[in-house]
Structure 1
């Protein structure tokens, strides 16, 4: 069956129209790059090959201030936080000092000489050397206000120095507290001597706190009486005076027991608290009913 038979069956005209012409591709003229062979240019396809320009191009020069460079000098400095007078040197920007007028000569023909003393700067990190205020006392104040049968003056001084060294961080103070009582002075008749060596006492953390707060509160009232204290100072004085080492030890023991509870003990305690609330609510309800009667 030919195409004419198909056209007869479909009642189509025998004469077919002309086919549409194909669109022709419009190609732009390729740039003729000098210095390249034809085969190399054809490798680029429609995209032309980029070539680095032969003339170098540099960035524009930035605008720089025409001020002269800063001058630096090596200057000595000390650190006021140190006990020794160690002097170090560091670089500092030089400060331009206007020139002074030359001294005029006197009648005797001698010129006045000006002595320039070089000032030593303090270190910028000396301000971070913050120390706690530890109460200070002398022998008379200790005998009048701070004397205690359980503490000697030497051990009290050792406690204050240890608290100053560790910035009142009491766990560290108690850990590093190793006071050794001074033995009695040796004599010629050492064999016949009946002097007793002071007994070494073990101090707990609460004992150290109690002694320190007692000394601090008493010396605070010595330097400023209670009636002249401000509200903040009076509250601090009352807090230190009312420190109870026994109550502090019980509080820590209760906290340790609460932290070491098991899950079963915790659930049992919660159930007991719920039952206690029920009993209290029931007793309140019974009291209200009795009032109505």
Structure 2
């Protein structure tokens, strides 16, 4: 009966089952968290069971705290201490002595040692300009003969100001107050001459240039020095300042008028450039047309007698009017055996229709390309020498042009073996750029190079088609002759 109740999903009845139902479920044992090292018992008790912690993080935290609390290792130099010591600035010449706190080291025996480098650290920022000073001998032999109204005392005064204010000429000119020199007879002093800023600069740089050249013996030894390479020109400096003052004194109306004149001049210049480019392209086209016509005439004169194809082949152009038709048969040479009717057709000469003179409009590509494309026009070309718009990115025109040339060679009928004939034709041009590409891959040169290769490839394709067509005509003429043989 119990098995049937189990199958039907019904509970069992009876005292034994009631005891089993009333038996309490076993309690799950809770894992007791261990107190991490370095944490007090009171702080760990505050966490309770509802705030779990990660022991690894606590351990790292307390280990860092313990490391910080450890006593620092004693230094080999001793205990660091700061002492209030006097110091002197080596950049000063007045011997001023001041005090500051200096970092020192105290040894185990109590001796305090100062750092080895006791020089004032900020003295290295006291930069001075290089002044070319003279002595009595140099002044008497080099400077005095060309001094003009400059005296030795005034020149020394100028050099003192240059050294004091580090060749800051506007400050020197503002502080320049030479009182003049007393008169020889005890009268009132001679008033000093009026010196401008350009006069002061001319005097100093003139003296410095003479000293440089005389100390080196020749001017070529100090030719790269700025004072010798670009000597000071008083007149140019004054003209520059006057021009700058006139430029800054312009009214808004004058500024607008000058802008209008500059815009008109720019438009005239661009128009002249466009006309010059158009004339150059027209001259190049005319020269190319003349050269093509001359080449065609010379080739026609040196070509063998024309041949006619089989009249049974459709699609061949008829002979132009005025051109005599070829004889159907050629007389046999003297002493030769008579030929049959089929042999006469086999040896009959064939003439091709004369090719018309090639015009510039018959070319597949233009004769010239512009280096500056119009707005919106891509700057690169594809294998068919058409504007190529690449994907966003950086492209090298030389590498892209070489890749397009490789595509042209791969697309040719016959593959690399047939392209050797194209290379031979390009070599016959006696121009390395025709085979390997121009040295500078501008838009104009890369387009012209790809166009040249395309034209030569088309020429070889046309020659191959013509040869295949003539071979087919020969086979069609000889086939009836073989059938008539007994």
Q: Quick check: TM above 0.5?
A: yes
Q: Which among 209, 227, 236 is matched to residue 227 of structure 2?
A: 236
Cα distance, 1:221 vs structure 2: 1.2
Equivalent residue of 2:99, what SS?
strand
Q: Which among 261, 265, 272 is matched to residue 254 of structure 2?
A: 265
Larger Rg: 2
Equivalent residue of 2:121, what SS?
coil
> Structure 1 residues 268, 143: closer, same or farther in 2, change over 3 A?
same
Counterpart Cα distance in 1 of 2:260 and 2:105: 77
The reply to whether residue 122 of structure 1 matches residue 116 of structure 2 is: no
Contact 1:184 1:197 in 2 (8 A): yes
Q: 1:169 — aligned with what?
A: 168
Cα distance, 1:56 vs structure 2: 8.5
Counterpart Cα distance in 2 of 1:97 and 1:184: 71
Counterpart Cα distance in 2 of 1:122 and 1:246: 48
Equivalent residue of 1:159, what SS?
helix
Q: 2:83 — aligned with what?
A: 73
Equivalent residue of 1:215, what SS?
helix
Q: Which among 128, 131, 134 is matched to residue 128 of structure 2?
A: 131
Q: 2:92 — aligned with what?
A: 82
Equivalent residue of 1:65, what SS?
coil
> Structure 1 residues 78, 157: closer, same or farther in 2, change over 3 A?
same
Cα distance, 1:141 vs structure 2: 0.8
Cα distance, 1:71 vs structure 2: 2.6
Q: Which has the higher contact order (CA 8 A, sep 6+)?
A: 1
Q: 2:141 — aligned with what?
A: 144
Cα distance, 1:222 vs structure 2: 2.2
Cα distance, 1:230 vs structure 2: 5.4
Counterpart Cα distance in 2 of 1:218 and 1:78: 38
1:238-257 mapped onto 2 (5 Å cutoff) = 238-240=229-231, 243-257=232-246
Equivalent residue of 2:80, what SS?
coil
Cα distance, 1:253 vs structure 2: 0.9
Contact 1:137 1:219 in 2 (8 A): yes
Cα distance, 1:181 vs structure 2: 1.5
> Structure 1 residues 228, 282: closer, same or farther in 2, change over 3 A?
closer
Which has the higher mean CA deviation after the structures are superposed, 87-96 or 155-164?
Answer: 87-96
Cα distance, 1:96 vs structure 2: 5.4
5+ long unaligned stretches in structure 1: 1-54, 100-117, 186-192
* CA deviation profile, 1:246-280 (whole Å, cap 9, x unmatched): 11111111011112211210121223334445666
The reply to whether residue 224 of structure 1 matches residue 216 of structure 2 is: yes
* CA deviation profile, 1:33-74 (whole Å, cap 9, x unmatched): xxxxxxxxxxxxxxxxxxxxxx789x9765333335523334
Contact 1:78 1:120 in 2 (8 A): no
> Structure 1 residues 268, 75: closer, same or farther in 2, change over 3 A?
same
Cα distance, 1:231 vs structure 2: 5.6
Count of equivalent residues: 206
Counterpart Cα distance in 2 of 1:66 and 1:247: 70
Cα distance, 1:197 vs structure 2: 3.0
> Structure 1 residues 120, 93: closer, same or farther in 2, change over 3 A?
closer
Counterpart Cα distance in 2 of 1:237 and 1:95: 53
Cα distance, 1:123 vs structure 2: 1.2
> Structure 1 residues 70, 62: closer, same or farther in 2, change over 3 A?
farther
CA RMSD of the aligned region, Å? Answer: 3.5
> Structure 1 residues 283, 129: closer, same or farther in 2, change over 3 A?
closer
Equivalent residue of 2:230, what SS?
helix
Counterpart Cα distance in 1 of 2:192 and 2:142: 24
> Structure 1 residues 76, 274: closer, same or farther in 2, change over 3 A?
closer
* CA deviation profile, 1:103-151 (whole Å, cap 9, x unmatched): xxxxxxxxxxxxxxx9993211111111111111112211111121221
Contact 1:77 1:120 in 2 (8 A): no
Equivalent residue of 2:94, what SS?
coil
Q: 2:189 — aligned with what?
A: 197
